[in-house]
């Protein structure tokens, strides 16, 4: 065997080895997207991609699904290491975390203010992706809140649907007492180890854990104070069914044990899954805190799409998002019908699916209502440490049940939050 055959054999082996490991080579015109939930975000993005490819056949999509925490981990690692070629073209980020990424990695995400007409979206969704007047994302699903109530239970207690429209939480408790007296049912399921309800109440009055400048705002936060007071009243009045954990909480209303649910619109699918309760439910605006700035609209959860500045397909990615998510009304009808997704584009309400009356809710046009509330959700600054402050709030919720002084609780939350942020 001469040297040449050895060399060529070696080369062949090396080549085989290389091709064995070589996997994806991005070619021009492929937009890579990272997101979570195969049945929701992935499926919706596939639909959007198909619509775009139908018009622009040269563009294809590679949608990669990872768990939500995994997407965050990967994004964080790639951005911190500056290995930008390891990033996708588009990534899904949860709204509460958006400011953290935008402010921690300035220049990493593509500004879209010039291209996208943001006036068509719910203002609070645009606010959360704005830094120094520049807007960086494409608003996606909304967690606009609704007050889902059992008409049959309320009726037994002597209330008509009109009696729960635009009420305050104090009135809610009064109604709750009568509902329990007449039907034996509790008014709501409440998990005091979860700060979700607190967040709904606080945002409904236009405030957050942070003020407009991003400074921690706990002790002098009138909305947070009212939110905690309201929960304390609910706890003391005993009109709630205690739940531990998500599935237990969901079980509180699917089983018919409670008369109302106040949460994000994404729960609609779960409510409607109980076919035997069809016609028994109604949806009203959520009760208000009754303080200055209080409204009947709020939000829980939601996420949005961001284009990476380093992306080779940046222009294409922005054009794609703009054409589908900012303009395609029909697309929003399809994702609402098939996936139960409520987007943030206000004009979506003019479509067929949004106009439809829902027999489950006694023939109400619930999507028109949600669309109304969507436009009214008060914009707040989610800041960069929402999750950290959430932990501090959650730690102090149980003390409300023991009648703790709210001002004291706020002080403790403030100091714990300060400790966690620094």
Look-up of token digits 């700060």: 195
**Helix and strand numbers, DSSP H then E, in the chain:** 17, 11
Shortest distance in whole angstroms from residue 317 CB to another protein: 16
Q: Which among 48-56, 215-223, 265-273, 408-416 is the span making contact with another protein, rule CB under 8 A?
A: 265-273
Tell which residue, 214, 201, 213, has the closest CA to residue 378: 201
Based on CB atoms, which residue is closest to another protein, 40 or 368?
A: 40
Contacting residue, 46, 47, 62, 237, with another protein by CB under 8 A: 62
H/E element holding 109? none
Contacting residue, 14, 67, 212, 421, with another protein by CB under 8 A: 67
Contacting residue, 70, 117, 330, 359, with another protein by CB under 8 A: 70
* Residue 422 near another protein by CB under 8 A: no
Instruction: Report the alpha-carbon distance of residue 287 to residue 205 in Å, rounded.
Output: 11
Q: Which among 4-12, 58-66, 146-154, 277-285 is the span making contact with another protein, rule CB under 8 A?
A: 58-66
At 389, is the secondary structure helix, strand, or coil? helix
* Residue 19 near another protein by CB under 8 A: no
User: What's 304's DSSP letter?
Assistant: E
Shortest distance in whole angstroms from residue 76 CB to another protein: 9
Residues in the chain: 422
Q: Which residues pair with 137 in a beta bridge?
A: 306
- Binding string, 86-125, against another protein, x = CB under 8 A? x-x-------------------------------------
Look-up of token digits 């975390």: 97
User: What's 364's DSSP letter?
Assistant: B
- CA-CA-CA-CA torsion sign (131, 136, 139, 140): negative
- CA-CA-CA-CA torsion sign (224, 225, 229, 232): positive
Contacting residue, 28, 54, 69, 275, with another protein by CB under 8 A: 69
* Residue 14 near another protein by CB under 8 A: no
Site residues, another protein (CB under 8 A): 21-24, 32, 36-40, 62-70, 73-74, 77-78, 80-83, 85-86, 88, 247, 250-251, 266, 269-270
């Amino acid at each position: 065997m001469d040297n040449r055959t050895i060399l060529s054999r070696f080369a062949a082996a090396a080549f085989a080895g290389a091709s064995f490991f070589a996997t994806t080579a991005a070619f021009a015109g492929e937009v890579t997207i990272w997101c979570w939930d195969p049945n929701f975000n992935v499926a919706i993005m596939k639909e959007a991609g198909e619509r775009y490819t139908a018009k622009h056949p040269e563009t294809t999509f590679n949608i990669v699904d990872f768990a939500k925490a995994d997407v965050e981990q990967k994004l964080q690692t790639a951005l911190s290491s500056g290995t930008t070629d390891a990033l996708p073209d588009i990534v899904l980020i949860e709204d509460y975390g958006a400011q953290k990424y935008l402010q921690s990695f300035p220049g990493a995400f593509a500004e879209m203010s010039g291209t996208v007409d943001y006036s068509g979206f719910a203002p609070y969704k645009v606010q959360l992706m704005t830094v120094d007047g520049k807007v960086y994302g494409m608003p996606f699903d909304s967690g606009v809140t609704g007050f889902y109530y059992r008409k049959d239970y309320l009726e037994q207690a002597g209330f008509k649907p009109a009696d729960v429209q635009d009420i305050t939480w104090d009135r809610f408790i009064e109604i709750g007492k009568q509902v329990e007296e007449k039907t034996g049912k509790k008014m709501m399921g409440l998990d005091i180890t979860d700060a979700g309800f607190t967040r709904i109440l606080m945002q409904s009055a236009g405030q957050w854990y942070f003020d407009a400048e991003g400074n921690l705002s706990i002790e002098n936060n009138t909305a947070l104070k009212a939110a905690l007071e309201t929960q304390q009243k609910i706890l003391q009045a005993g009109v709630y069914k205690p739940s531990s954990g998500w599935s237990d909480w969901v079980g509180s209303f699917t089983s018919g044990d409670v008369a109302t649910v106040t949460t994000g619109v994404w729960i609609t699918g779960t409510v409607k899954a109980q076919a035997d309760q069809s016609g028994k439910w109604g949806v009203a605006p959520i009760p208000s805190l009754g303080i200055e700035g209080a409204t009947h609209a709020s939000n829980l959860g939601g996420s949005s799409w961001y284009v990476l500045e380093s992306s080779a397909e940046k222009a294409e990615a922005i054009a794609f998002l703009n054409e589908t998510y900012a303009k395609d009304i029909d697309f929003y009808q399809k994702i609402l019908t098939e996936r139960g997704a409520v987007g943030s584009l206000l004009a979506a309400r003019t479509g067929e699916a949004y106009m439809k009356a829902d027999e489950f809710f006694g023939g109400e046009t619930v999507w028109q209502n949600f669309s109304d509330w969507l436009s009214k959700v008060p914009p707040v600054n989610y800041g960069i440490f929402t999750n950290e402050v959430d932990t501090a709030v959650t730690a102090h919720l149980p003390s409300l049940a023991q009648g703790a002084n709210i001002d004291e609780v706020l002080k403790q939350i403030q100091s714990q939050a300060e400790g966690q942020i620094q």
